[in-house]
Each structure stands twice: as C-alpha cells, then as structure tokens.
C-alpha cells in the first residue's frame, strides 16, 4: 500500500512532526483542524465561525489528497465547552449535512491555544 503525506505548511507541523493529511491507499485522514489561518486564530470567541474555518481547512485537506467533501465518511468534532454544541453542529450541517458522515462530538478540557474553541478531523475515501 502506498502512503502519501501532505503538509499545509502550518506552524505546528514541523515542531510536532505531523502531516495535515495522510492518504493510505484509498483512505484519507486529516489531522485536527482549528481556526488558525497563517498562524493567527480566526473568529476569536465564536465557535460557529471557528467550526466553519476548521471545516473549510479539513475539506481542503481531503481534496489535496485526492478525496472530496462528498466522500467524507467520518467527522470528529472537539469542543471546549458543551454550550458550543449547537453552533458547531450548525456549521457541520452547513458543510457536511448533505453528506452525512458518521460523526462524533466530544467536549474536551482545552486545546493547544485557549482561544481555540473547536478542533475537527475528517476521514474520507479517495476517488
């Protein structure tokens, strides 16, 4: 099986040692995506805006590795406060509601930067 790794050039990839997205055969898996764009947290204090930003990053990563939004089969949504669930769920529905991947939403104690409210991982199938 061929394994391909793709970088987004994000600030943590080299420091931590990970890839934005990995394709193993037909399986495509993103790393956790947040609202950080060009090293800056976007939509500070807004879980809905952060979720949309993270989802856009994750979908772009799937596409980079030969998958597509429509081929997303699983999503994992990490939120830092359960009160964010509706807003993050709404963003997920807007981006993936017609695809309906298997989804899990978890409340976690925190993310790497306290301004990050949401982190999202996607799994897709390459076409």
Q: Is the pLDDT of residue 6 over 90?
A: yes
Domain 3-125 has CATH 3.40.1000.10: no
pLDDT tens-digit series, residues 44-93: 999 999 999 999 999 999 999 999 999 999 999 999 999 999 999 999 99
pLDDT of 9: 85
Lowest mean pLDDT among 6-10, 26-30, 72-76: 6-10
Q: What is the pLDDT of residue 10?
A: 79
Instruction: Give me 105's structure tokens.
Output: 């939403």
Residues near 101 by beta carbon (within 8 Å), at least 6 away in sequence: 72, 73, 74, 75, 122, 123
Q: Where are the domains of the chain?
A: 3-125
């Amino acid at each position: 099986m061929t394994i391909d790794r793709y970088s987004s050039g994000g600030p943590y990839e080299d420091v931590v040692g990970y890839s934005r997205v990995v394709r193993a055969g037909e399986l495509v898996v993103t790393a956790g995506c947040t609202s950080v764009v060009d090293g800056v947290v976007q939509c500070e204090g807004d879980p809905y805006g952060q979720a949309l930003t993270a989802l856009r990053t994750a979908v772009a990563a799937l596409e980079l590795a030969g998958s597509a939004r429509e081929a997303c089969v699983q999503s994992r949504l990490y939120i830092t406060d359960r009160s964010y669930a509706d807003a993050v769920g709404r963003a997920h529905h807007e981006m993936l509601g017609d695809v309906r991947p298997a989804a899990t939403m978890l409340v976690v104690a925190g993310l790497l930067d306290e301004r990050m409210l949401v982190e999202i991982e996607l799994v897709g199938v390459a076409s």
